[in-house]
Amino acid sequence: MAPTKENEDPSTNANEEWKKKAPYSIHEDGAGFKVVYEANCHCGRVRYQLNKEKPLASKFCHCTTCQTQHGAPFQWAAIFHKEDINFSHGHHNLEWYDPGEKSIAHKLPCKVRCSFCHSPIMDEGRNMILLFPTLINFKSEAEKRNFEVEMHMFYTHRVVDIPDGKPKWSGLSDDSDLIEDSPESAKKEWEKKKAEKKKEEKKKEKEEEHQDKKQKTDHKQNGENGKNEDGEKGYELRSKD
């Protein structure tokens, strides 16, 4: 049966759009794209280049999704902007998987693999991509060091202990707790951040409370001049009323 409008896959046309947008848009003949690294999947059908020496961050993720998706104890991910990558070959040989909805639709964030050998290529987020540096053909130890891992995430889900002295977060960094053999300096820094956050929250609470009170008593104070117990700040708040 010849294909008609009715039995055409409606997603086909929409799926063409991704080829024109980063990270999938191809820089023809490398136009203006400085090649710093080259990488490929296991079968070589998918090849890409990177134009930055260092990732924005490099981490090990021990979450159970990464363990299952990579068939490995943990994931090594390096974060780049979507504009930093150029698929020099076979970018149409890609497939997607959205672990949230367990679908193969191209819906962000999702996993991106070679559709032939199924090597994981990257995780595509809304603004960033998380590459897997094991695909990069490093030409020296120095190049590899540019991807040195700064921390471990979801370390509570680990299947192996890694006593490397690097910060270890129970979940996503910053939103979770530092655990295990995290370095003292990182622990101190985190305690400081936590205390500052608490102080900031308390201050905000106090300000809101104060504003509430002020709104109730302002009509009584209209005759007095500017300052209240909070000095300048209180005056500023008042003058905006």
Q: Closer to Zn ion by CB, 8 or 96: give it.
A: 96
Find the shortest distance in angstroms from Cβ 175 to Zn ion: 14
Contact segment (CB under 5 A) with Zn ion among 47-55, 107-115, 132-140, 159-167 equals 107-115
CB of 60 to Zn ion, least distance (A): 9
Q: Is the peptide bond before 23 cis (omega within 30 degrees of 0)?
A: yes
**Nearest CB to Zn ion, comparing residues 43 and 159:** 43
Q: Peptide bond preceding 109: is omega within 30 degrees of 0, i.e. cis? A: yes
Q: What are phi and psi of 59, to 5 degrees?
A: -145, 160
114 or 129: whose CB is closer to Zn ion? 114
Q: Shortest gap between Cβ of 104 and Zn ion (angstroms)?
A: 17
Q: How many residues bind Zn ion (CB under 5 A)?
A: 9
The yes or no reply on residue 117 touching Zn ion (CB under 5 A) is yes
Question: What is the 3 state secondary structure string of 202-229?
Answer: HHHHHHHHHHHHHHHHHHHHCCCCCCCC
Measuring CA to CA, which residue among 125, 122, 106 is closest to residue 114? Answer: 122
- Cα separation values, 203 from 59, 140, 170, 199, Å: 34, 51, 28, 6
Q: Which residues face 130 on adjacent strands?
A: 79, 123
Cβ proximity to Zn ion: between 109 and 234 the closer is 109
55-84 footprint of Zn ion as x/- string (CB under 5 A) = ------x-x--x------------------
Shortest Cβ distance from residue 131 to Zn ion (Å)? 14
Of 92 and 204, the one with the shorter C-beta distance to Zn ion is 92
- Annotate each residue in 15-44 with x if it binds Zn ion (CB under 5 A) or - if it does not, as one string: --------------------------x-x-
Which listed residue (18, 116, 138, 235) binds Zn ion by CB under 5 A?
116
Binding mask 192-211 for Zn ion (x = CB under 5 A): --------------------
Binding mask 143-182 for Zn ion (x = CB under 5 A): ----------------------------------------
What is the DSSP track for 118-177? --EEEEE-SSEEEE-GGGB---SHHHHHTT---EEESGGG-SS---S---BBSSSTTTS-
Q: Strand 57-61 to strand 151-153: parallel, antiparallel, or no bridges (unpaired)?
A: parallel
Task: Find where tokens 């086909």 sit.
Answer: 12
> Can you tell me the distance from the alpha carbon of 140 to that of 2, in angstroms, rounded to the nearest whole number?
55
Contact residues: Zn ion, CB under 5 A: 41, 43, 45, 61, 63, 66, 114, 116-117
